[in-house]
Chain A
Amino acid sequence: MGLSELLSQLLQTLVAVLLAPLMLGWVNQCRSWFQGRSGPGLLQPYRVLVKLFRKDAAIAHNASWLFRVTPYIVFSCMVLAGSIVPILATDLPFSRAADVIALVGLFALARVFMALAAMDIGTAFGSLGARREMLIASLAEPALLMVFFTPALISQSTALTTIVETLAHQQIQLYPSMAFAAVAFVMVLLAENARIPVDNPATHLELTMVHEAMILEYSARHLALMDWAHALKLMVYSTIGIALFVPWGIAEAGNWSMVPLSLLALVVKLAIAGQGLALLETVSAKMRIFRVPEFLGMAFMLAVLGLLTRFLLEMKA
């Protein structure tokens, strides 16, 4: 592992961690514009984070060590995810440590800790949120794996680096199967990141909350870490989508001169993705919790269709 590689790894991780709240701010700002409001400004998430870090943490009397350590673990998992996904460049030192399946496992690790912490205090909302989150996740995970399998079949690899290099750095070819996979991926992204129509990040009505119910007991620095991790998760998911479906512009391994360009490409792509997300959230309404299995079932079917398309139409050619 050379110094230059290590530096590029560090740079990417920093970019991911620092840009994540900005992405969230951008989505919220766009949504405000779509809804005819002026919006809190792009930097609002940063202000909230700083405010939260300054406050004293209020913790329930019976909270255990698990409750206190979970924000750090969740945040670290997301930082690791942010260093694995080729956000700026492929073949970074850490990228070999995980393929897409391991990445799914990493998200699951963070989620399980979050759900356990939610059940730690023993309030009704915590366990309600934990149960719903685990339900949504366990239905979304098969769909997500199916989504990943289509590009994995095309590139003969589950390593994101190889997938990106196959799809981006060789001759451009259109894959019908990837269209199915892309739609399914967006649906899974909405579910996994607690966005409308599966969950509502802006809700104040306890009964409809999923993610917010889980972190209801958190305050101050713990809440800040949870929120930051959540923003990072959205960022990582978006960049996974970019890597799979629009990988053009991601720098090749060790090519420093490409990095500014790839940063620019990343910002543009994320801006478009954020706008799309805001639009989706503006035009749809939150659905009942027991409609979610249907929604995710549809995502799953689409992903399987993509896989079958790959087998039927593309393999023989």
Chain B
Amino acid sequence: MSLLHLALGIPLFWIALGLAGLAVGSSRATHARTFFPLGALGALGLAIVGFLALTGKSQALVLPLGLPDLPFHLRLDPLAGFFLILLGAASAGVSVFSAGYFERGGGGDIRLICLQYHVFLAAMALVLLADDAYLFMVAWETMALASYFLVTTDHRIAEIRSAGFLYLIVAHVGAIAILLTFGVLQLGRWDYTFDAMRANTLPMHWASIAFLLALFGFGAKAGFLPVHIWLPEAHPAAPSPVSGLMSGVMLKTAMYGLLRVTFDLLHVQVWWWGVVALAVGLVTAFYGVIFAAVQTDMKRLLAYSSIENIGIILAGVGLALTFHTYDMNLLAALALAASLYHCLNHALFKSLLFLATGSVMHATRHRSLGKLGGLIRSMPWVAGLALLGILAIAGLPPLNGFVSEWLLFQAFLLTPGLPNSYLNMFVPVATAALALAVALAGYVMVKFYGVVFLGQPREDLSGAHDAGAWERTGMLWLAAWCVVLGVIPVVAVQAMDPILGALVGGSLSESLRASSWLLLTAVAPERASYGPMIFALVILGAVAATFLLVRRVWHGRVRRSAPWDCGFPQLNARMQDTAEGFGQPIKQIFEPFFRIERHHPSPFDERPRYSSSLEDKLWYWLYLPIAWLADRLSAVVAIIHHGRIQWYLVYSFVTLLVLLVLVR
């Protein structure tokens, strides 16, 4: 039995698990605690298979399923293996968490959720294993549909229904573009296996069209600007574990598709592709982060932060593409490694944070930031693990988010080697945009954590309780990987080396071997090095030493007292910063990017209310005009629709006559 058989077995196991769950009529709690942990075991197995596939040779398999003469082709290569690790590692944590989460309610019928959840996981695994356009599209659409049903779990709420609808529309527009990509790639030979596409050599302009279609199609799933509009609506609407999977893993399948098409299926690359990807990525990152900073709903904030992170990943891909077209393969490998690393990191910490919001919502029944606060005292576990998550996502050493950002900055700094002076001018600005997005991510995360977990509760949250054992275990798993990937990046980057070799023909392991396993280097050790282990040990050591010294030389006496009230004795929780307040400077500085509506009370209002709403300008500039156009077009068509049967009979009669005349 080969590795590929194992890899194929796990999605089938998931589907079987979902179906079995449908048949079993046990209580909600038993159901959740039986099926989700089993799913987690499958996920763990998938991660291991993916890890073994990183170093192994690529394996192919033809399944005689599907349509006649159109069997399913499957393939397991290092790139697919990497994304299988990502899927397995993230969903293992999420599934364990789900066992506790769904047990305590949330959503509709547990059996349906269990089926949709596991079909969703299986579809994502099959997307990664597919080796022909047919299976790829089938799996892709299954993934979209399963996630649609998961998003609309609480379908009795009107906003959730419309969020799901928007998601479905954008997903399908994207799917059409992907289908067209494959149509271009097969080059009129009507052979839709990826092997045949690899063998084709496309003319330059067709290759460019294929790339742009892929960028749009996969971008619609990943949330690149301007097709990001569905993401902040749909991701928060789903139950929290599913939000975590969608943000953490599903977006990465889109990145996988983009990488597969760009680096594997297309042979030629044109230099401006990289620039387009870089520009789109940076604009997406910037847009995502400033919108995240002004959100007042914790899950929407995280969804916008996903847009930011996916933008950073795309920027890395763009840079890798640029380097690759100039045959600077070592640098392309560096940029691509940064991107892939960030994919993995984001899968871990974004799932972790979404899970934390799930626990918070269960404990408090609130998701609006304006009602939370002070949860570090009643939910110490969730608060502690979420702290790790926000430090990682804010790109702080020695956690994992910083590693990928460090690699990416290094790659950006190496661009002066490019033999294109326009690019040389463009890149400093691009680096600055990246730096701004990364720095603002810190702002966003301080806001998120500070408002939810710190301070005083803004409403009565006395019933809040900490997460249960299942939920803790799931989060602990994800947080542990955030730490591990943060402190031993060298091992992780070395494991990625086969992918880099296969996609861009460069290898980082040589430069890594030149230094010790403690130090991550970029290209050469004297160029730059970063030793997160030393960071972690020195900081921890210094904390311990300072603590002991201060106690030893002086004392550790503590007196509890009321906080400083500035001489105003009626200090209360409502005087803290609100989420709106915390985002206000960003609102003011980046005002041109938002569409803000404020309603100020007049001095004569008996019950003065202040309200301010903030929307995406693109919605008005792009989507509403399109909707308006569609409306007008359908109005034109509707002229001949009267709803009376006589008229339709007349139409049929006339059509028949015309046809008779023409065919005669």
Contacting pair A122 B550 (CB below 8 A):
no
Q: Which of A70-128 contact B (CB under 8 A)?
A: 72-73, 75-77, 79-80, 83, 94, 96-99, 101-102, 105-106, 108-109, 111-112, 115-116, 119-128
Selected from A80, A106, A123, A304, the residue in CB contact (under 8 A) with B576 is: A123
8 A-B pairs in the complex with CB atoms less than 8 angstroms apart:
A57-B558, A98-B535, A101-B528, A112-B446, A134-B446, A137-B442, A138-B442, A158-B527
Q: Which of B289-315 contact A (CB under 8 A)?
A: none
Q: Which of A134-160 contact B (CB under 8 A)?
A: 134-135, 137-139, 141-142, 145-146, 149, 152-153, 156-159
A 34-65 binary contact with B (CB < 8 Å = 1; else 0): 00000000000000000001101111111010
Which B residues touch A83, using CB under 8 A?
A: 538
Which B residues touch A178, using CB under 8 A?
A: none
Interface residue SS majority, chain A:
helix
A141–B442 CA distance with the chains assembled, in angstroms: 11
Interface window among B20-28, B95-103, B357-365, B448-456: B448-456
Is B396 an interface position by the 8 A CB rule? yes
Selected from A58, A149, A216, the residue in CB contact (under 8 A) with B413 is: A149
A106–B438 CA distance with the chains assembled, in angstroms: 14
Q: Which of B547-567 contact A (CB under 8 A)?
A: 547, 550, 553-555, 557-566
Which B residues touch A54, using CB under 8 A?
A: 554
Selected from A127, A217, A304, the residue in CB contact (under 8 A) with B564 is: A217
Contacts A123-B575, A124-B577, A146-B432: A64 and B416 contacting too (C-beta < 8 A)?
Answer: no
Q: Identify which of A98, A99, A106, A138 gathers the most chain B CB atoms within 10 Å of its CB.
A: A138
Is B435 an interface position by the 8 A CB rule? yes
Is A221 an interface position by the 8 A CB rule? yes
Is A237 an interface position by the 8 A CB rule? no
Contacting pair A115 B396 (CB below 8 A):
no
A 283-317 binary contact with B (CB < 8 Å = 1; else 0): 00000011001000000100010011001000100
Contacting pair A102 B543 (CB below 8 A):
no
Give the A-B pair count, Cβ closer than 8 A.
249
Is B108 an interface position by the 8 A CB rule? no
Selected from B421, B527, B573, B588, the residue in CB contact (under 8 A) with A290 is: B588
Contacting pair B529 A99 (CB below 8 A):
yes
Contacting pair B530 A141 (CB below 8 A):
no
Q: Which of B357-407 contact A (CB under 8 A)?
A: 373-374, 376-377, 387, 391, 394-397, 402, 405-406
Contacts A101-B406, A142-B435: A109 and B396 contacting too (C-beta < 8 A)?
Answer: yes
Contacting pair B455 A122 (CB below 8 A):
yes
Q: Identify which of B526, B553, B563 gathers the most chain A CB atoms within 10 Å of its CB.
A: B563
Q: Give B425 Cβ to nearest chain A Cβ, in Å.
A: 7
Interface window among B501-509, B579-587, B613-621: B579-587
Contacting pair B563 A121 (CB below 8 A):
yes
B 512-543 binary contact with A (CB < 8 Å = 1; else 0): 00000001000001111111001100111111
Which A residues touch B455, using CB under 8 A?
A: 119-122, 126-127
Contacts A62-B377, A135-B586, A308-B425: A159 and B439 contacting too (C-beta < 8 A)?
Answer: no
Contacting pair B531 A149 (CB below 8 A):
no
Which B residues touch A308, using CB under 8 A?
A: 425, 428
Contacting pair A80 B391 (CB below 8 A):
no
A120–B573 CA distance with the chains assembled, in angstroms: 12
Size category of the A interface is: 35 or more
A119–B377 CA distance with the chains assembled, in angstroms: 13
Is B571 an interface position by the 8 A CB rule? yes
Is B199 an interface position by the 8 A CB rule? no
Q: Which residue of B lies closest to A67 (CB)?
A: B454
Which A residues touch B540, using CB under 8 A?
A: 76
Contacting pair A130 B450 (CB below 8 A):
yes
Contacting pair B561 A105 (CB below 8 A):
no
Which B residues touch A304, using CB under 8 A?
A: 428-429, 432
Q: Give B353 Cβ to nearest chain A Cβ, in Å.
A: 15
Which A residues touch B531, using CB under 8 A?
A: 96-98
Which A residues touch B445, using CB under 8 A?
A: 112
Contacting pair A122 B428 (CB below 8 A):
no
Is A269 an interface position by the 8 A CB rule? no
Q: Give B435 Cβ to nearest chain A Cβ, in Å.
A: 4
Contacting pair A109 B397 (CB below 8 A):
yes
Q: Give B551 Cβ to nearest chain A Cβ, in Å.
A: 9
Q: Which residue of B lies closest to A83 (CB)?
A: B538
